[in-house]
Every structure is written in C-alpha cells, then in structure tokens.
Amino acid sequence: MTTLTPKLKDIEHQWWLVDAEGVTLGRLATQVARILRGKHKPIFTPHLDTGDYVVVVNAAKVALTGRKAEQKTYFRHSGFMGGEKHIPFRKMMETKPERVIELAVKGMLPKNALGRQIRNNLRVYAGAEHPHQGQNPQPLKIEG
C-alpha cells in the first residue's frame, strides 16, 4: 500500500475572509490556524504547506470571555537582564489590535520552519477595509 503525497504544483491555495467582530479570540484562532495548515482539505500533509490564505478584518472588535480582558498580558524580553516587558491586553488592543490575533494564531501553529512559512499566509487588519479584493476571498463564518 502506498501513501500519496501531493506535488507542490497540485496544491491549490484559496483565499478566505474572516470577520472577527464579536468572535471569541481563541475560537477564531483555532479555526484560522486549521485553515492555514490545510487540515480542512483531504490532501492535508503535515510536512507541506497545503493550507490557504486567510484575511481577518475587524481585529479591533475581537472578544474575550470572563475577566481575561483585565488579566491577560503579553510577554516580551529584550535579551538583556531585567528586559522583561508585560503588555496588558487593553494596551495592546489600543496600539496594535492586529498583533493580538497574530500571536494567538502563532501559538497554534507548528514551532518550526513550516510554521513560520505558514504564518506569512495570514493577513490581519484592524478595520473592515483590506487590499485583497482582487483575490476574491470567500467568506468564512466562525461561530461564537
């Protein structure tokens, strides 16, 4: 019995449009990561980029459950002693709301070269406008 591996020329990448308004951050990130990896396709192969492109709009209107909006922080380190930075969720939403979704999806992708390559297929915008109308993205409905 042989396993069929898709050739790079046989893989077709589709564009999806996701509206993040009122959607829970974690639910949004899991669905977007699934589409980016290509797990929704029958030709899914773990070591190839079989996924699609995803455009997320209205990132500034994403929701969190419970008290996470007050308690959640994002961690950065400069590499120097005492170089820790903890950025609260509220401040991140005011300055870079796109980054919140990018980091949530990043945590759900593989931590290797393929994961870094797949991350380039994600486009996130704070507002409702995006420059990818030419690719004719299909709407993707995410519940909750």
Q: What is the pLDDT along the chain (144 residues), one digit of tens a residue?
A: 888 899 989 999 999 999 999 999 999 999 999 999 999 999 999 999 999 999 999 999 999 999 999 999 999 999 999 999 999 999 999 999 999 999 999 999 999 999 999 999 999 999 999 999 999 999 999 987
- Based on C-alpha coordinates, what's the Rg of the chain? 17
CB 51 within 8 A of CB 14: no
Domain holding 121, by residue range, is: 14-65+95-140
Domain assignment present for residue 133? The answer is yes
Q: Is residue 72 part of a domain?
A: no
Domain CATH code at residue 114? 3.90.1180.10
pLDDT of the residue at 3: 83
Give the separation between CA 24 and CA 88, rounded to whole angstroms. Answer: 18
Instruction: Answer yes or no: is 132 within a domain.
Output: yes
What pLDDT is attached to residue 118?
97
Instruction: Give me the number of domains the chain comprises.
Output: 1
**pLDDT (0 to 100) of residue 88:** 97
Within-domain flag for 76: no
Which is it for the CA torsion 47, 45, 111, 100, positive or negative? positive
Kindly report the pTM of this predicted structure. 0.92
Q: How is residue 84 annotated by DSSP?
A: E
Q: Distance between CA atoms of 17 and 26, rounded to whole angstroms?
A: 17
Sign of CA dihedral 103, 126, 136, 30: positive
- Give the pLDDT of residue 70: 95
Residue 123 placed within a domain? yes
pLDDT at site 1:
81
